[in-house]
Amino acid sequence: MSTSIRVLVNGAKGKMGREAVRAVRSEADLALVGETDLGDRLAETIAGTGAQVVVDFTHPCAAAQNTETILRCGAHPVVGTTGFTPADIQRLESLAAELRRGGVIAPNFAVGAVLLMRFAAEAARFLPDVEIIELHHDQKADAPSGTAVKTAEMIAERRAPAGAAAAEKESVPGVRGGRWRGIPIHSVRLPGLVAHQEVLLGGLGQTLTLRHDSLSRASFMPGVILAVRKAPRLDRLYYGLETILEL
């Protein structure tokens, strides 16, 4: 009797979805039982394939509803789609707790990016003046990136009080970026990029720059596979790959 984890990939025709399909197929302990995309009936496919885990790389406008569908259909979500609001996360966490069925929503599945977030949060304890620059390909649907938002949240939870900033006037509206939890975020969208992020911290007479670069979409797959393997035994919904690394 096979003990492979039965995996369905939603968004299988997209760039990240195709990469996820290849990654699942390459693992002996995982069984790819389905591939769905826009126009397919996700709930019916989960039921028909008996999928235990559904990997979702779709579109920000569908991410929250897809995650709810996966949970209600008896499967565990592993979601790399971004665009979730704090209210979305809270609602889905409550649903997962009610169903006692867990999973993972991660703005970034690259282990190096997760380490960058951790290092940035630690550094902000000592260098609280910080800004984030995130750079992605020109087809990315949301800005700022989910990674940048998660990074800002982690920094805001740990950083020391920042110094009083000088009064500013933007001669070009938005030139200083947007702010999340009081932290400036600058979004760049260009062809040729994949996913990149810098966190710049400043102090008296010094700066510290932390940077992570995903040079191909393959960089996300070790984190996806790790989450797929852990998802079937989770009884709550985790937000961020860093939350399950040591489970």
pLDDT digit string (tens) for 88-110?
999 999 999 999 999 999 999 99
pTM (two decimals): 0.87
- Domain holding 100, by residue range, is 5-108+218-243
94 and 115, same domain (yes or no): no
Q: Is the peptide bond before 232 cis (omega within 30 degrees of 0)?
A: no
Contact call for residues 220 and 19 (beta carbons, < 8 A):
yes
CA distances from 78 to 53, 89, 135, 166 (A): 7, 14, 24, 43
Runs of H (alpha helix) within the chain: 15-25, 42-49, 60-72, 86-99, 111-123, 146-158, 221-230
- Contact predicate 217/108, CB 8 Å: no
Q: Determine which one of 59, 76, 140, 169 is catalytic.
A: 140
Give 68: exposed, middle or buried? Use CB within 10 Å, 0-12, 13-18, 19+.
Answer: middle
Burial of 136 (0-12, 13-18, 19+ CB in 10 A): buried
Furthest-apart CA atoms within the chain: distance in Å? 68
The pLDDT value recorded for residue 220 is 97
User: Six-digit token pair at 71?
Assistant: 């949970």
Marked catalytic residue, from 13, 15, 59, 136: 136
Percent of the chain past pLDDT 70, that is, above it, reads 98
Q: Do 118 and 209 belong together in one domain?
A: yes
- Quick one: pLDDT at residue 182? 92
Reference 76, options 98, 110, 46; nearest CA is: 46
pLDDT for position 33: 98
Query: Is 140 annotated as catalytic?
Result: yes
Q: Tell me the mean pLDDT in the region 167-177.
A: 90
Question: How is residue 208 written in tokens?
Answer: 């510290």
Find all residues with CB under 8 Å of 152, minimum gap 6, and list them. Answer: 132, 180, 181, 183, 185
The DSSP code for 4 is P
What is the distance between the alpha carbons of residues 36 and 212, in angstroms, rounded to a whole number?
A: 31
Contact 55/20 with Cβ under 8 angstroms?
yes
Question: Residue 32: pLDDT above 70?
Answer: yes
Residue 25 has pLDDT above 60, yes or no: yes
Token pair listed for 121: 């949060």
Indicate whether 79 and 139 sit together in one domain.
no
Q: Are residues 144 and 193 in the same domain?
A: yes
**The total number of structural domains that make up the chain:** 2
- CB–CB of 78/232 below 8 Å? no
Q: What's the CATH code of the domain at 170?
A: 3.30.360.10
pLDDT the model gives residue 1: 45
pLDDT for res 162: 77
236: domain CATH number is 3.40.50.720
Kindly indicate the confidence band of residue 2, based on its pLDDT and cuts at 50, 70 and 90. low
**Mean pLDDT to the nearest integer, 12-37:** 97
- Per-residue pLDDT tens for 120-171? 999 999 999 999 999 999 999 899 999 999 999 999 999 988 776 777 889 9
Mean per-residue pLDDT for 175-197?
Answer: 96
Task: Write out pLDDT tens, residues 195-246.
Answer: 999 999 999 999 999 999 999 999 999 999 999 999 999 999 999 999 999 8
> Same structural domain for residues 9 and 95?
yes
Angstrom distances, CA of residue 2 to CA of 6, 47, 229: 10, 19, 15
| Shared domain check, 101 and 20 | yes
* Residues 81 and 138 both lie in one domain: no
DSSP of 166-180, one letter per residue? PP---SSTTTT-EEE
